Amino acid sequence: MAGASSSPPLLTRPSVEAAHEAIKEHIHCTPVVTSQTLNHLASRPQSPTALLGTVFEGHTPASPRIHLFFKCENYQRIGAFKSRGAFHALSRLTKEQLARGVVTHSSGNHAQALALAAQTQGVRAFIVMPTISTPSKIAATKGYGAEVIFSGSTSQEREAMVENVIERTGALLIPPYDHPNIILGQGTMALELERQVLELIDGDPSLSVRRKDSTHTGGGPTSNGASNTRVGSSLEPRSGRLDAVIAPLGGGGMLAGIATALSDTGTKVFGAEPSFQGADDGRRGLAANHRVTTVKTLTIADGLRTPVGEINWTVISDKSKVNGVFAVTEEQILSAMKLVIERMKVFVEPSAVVGLAVCLYNEEFRKIVEEEGGEEGWDVGVVLSGGNTTLEAISRMFATEDKEAERAEGKVGKKGERIAENVAG
């Protein structure tokens, strides 16, 4: 499907910097938070029993040294990083194109993001949403003034409805993730993260794995062991002190954007996925050397149920830009989510914590840090991508031992049957 402007910019760091300049007045520079408690947990070897049933069973558990810097996109407008790409996509359109209105298909965060961006620009927005989308996300999308059109949950049904809307209204398609304008917009978070970490470490060198003996001078830790800061919007293109950044991987717009922004900076970039029912299509695709085009999964990380897009795949499969993709189990996602909520006091959705879960529990990743970081270790940026869930949903996740029980959206069809939905976020 065609989408966004006809002449998208190149996927380069200068293009990400230009994107940030275009959208900075419309987005939040979300805080970066650290946690001594989670640094300690990430730097502690797993128990041998945790490795039972894995390829690392019987091996000595890795003992990496990791300091974590959390980019809290759950505090972004609409509660997730998607606002960045939506605002940038609209900024690339001419007045004549904006006058036609915009359309997309999404079950949640992109729907809300595009609705908000369109409302801000005074543009009509048509959002195609599956009938089984969660009521709160439908209500939020309508609340931003968008016209919601319902469709079936398959990609064919959704795209057919989008084509119908385009034919009827002349609106322009703004894809959820697989377009250069979306990729560049999402990549702006990496520029902020890079500078924020520099400022945090300048204020308190002990936050870095490299310097732990200086007197603290700013950005003080809170009573729960976390510290946070907000910085201004002036972003010089300079290398950060981060050894790595890890981000969730669904359709791939965010990971491709981060990899583009951090290309040739010396910071490694990794992706994180759930493994449940084949949701780790990015990891499997890299292993097989081809893109996996279909995903059907009921992972609790519902924002990551989408296969990697074609354009995003060209970035993610480039080993000079993305150093690897790792997967974690449902139990590990829930464990990481509980730590973030209870220890850091940060409200997140399951999709947001897959990167942290990799740092805590994926032995392959942890061995890389141990081997390449040595005794010094790594400073790792972790993207918390969003917080669009509810107390009721979280309660259900932690209240039952039945891991096949209630799973976010896309769980029940019109006739009561379970549906593994493949819906763009």
Of 24, 82, 137, 321, which is the active-site residue? 82
Could you tell me which residues come within 8 angstroms of residue 392 by beta carbon, excluding any fewer than 6 positions away? none
Sheet containing strand 66-72, strands side by side:
226-229, 32-35, 66-72, 378-384, 244-248, 268-274, 324-328
Helices (H), 34-100: 36-42, 82-91, 95-99
Residue tagged 């965060």 (tokens): 109
Long-range contacts of 311-315 (CB under 8 A, 24+ apart): 311/178, 311/179, 311/180, 311/183, 311/256, 312/177, 312/178, 312/183, 312/251, 312/252, 312/253, 312/255, 312/256, 313/252, 313/285, 315/11, 315/183, 315/252, 315/255, 315/256, 315/259, 315/260
Helices (H), 266-351: 281-288, 310-316, 330-343
Of 5, 43, 106, 107, which is the active-site residue? 107
Q: How far apart are CA 6 and CA 129, in angstroms?
A: 25
The verdict on whether 107 is a catalytic residue reads yes
The verdict on whether 263 is a catalytic residue reads no
Catalytic residues: 82, 107
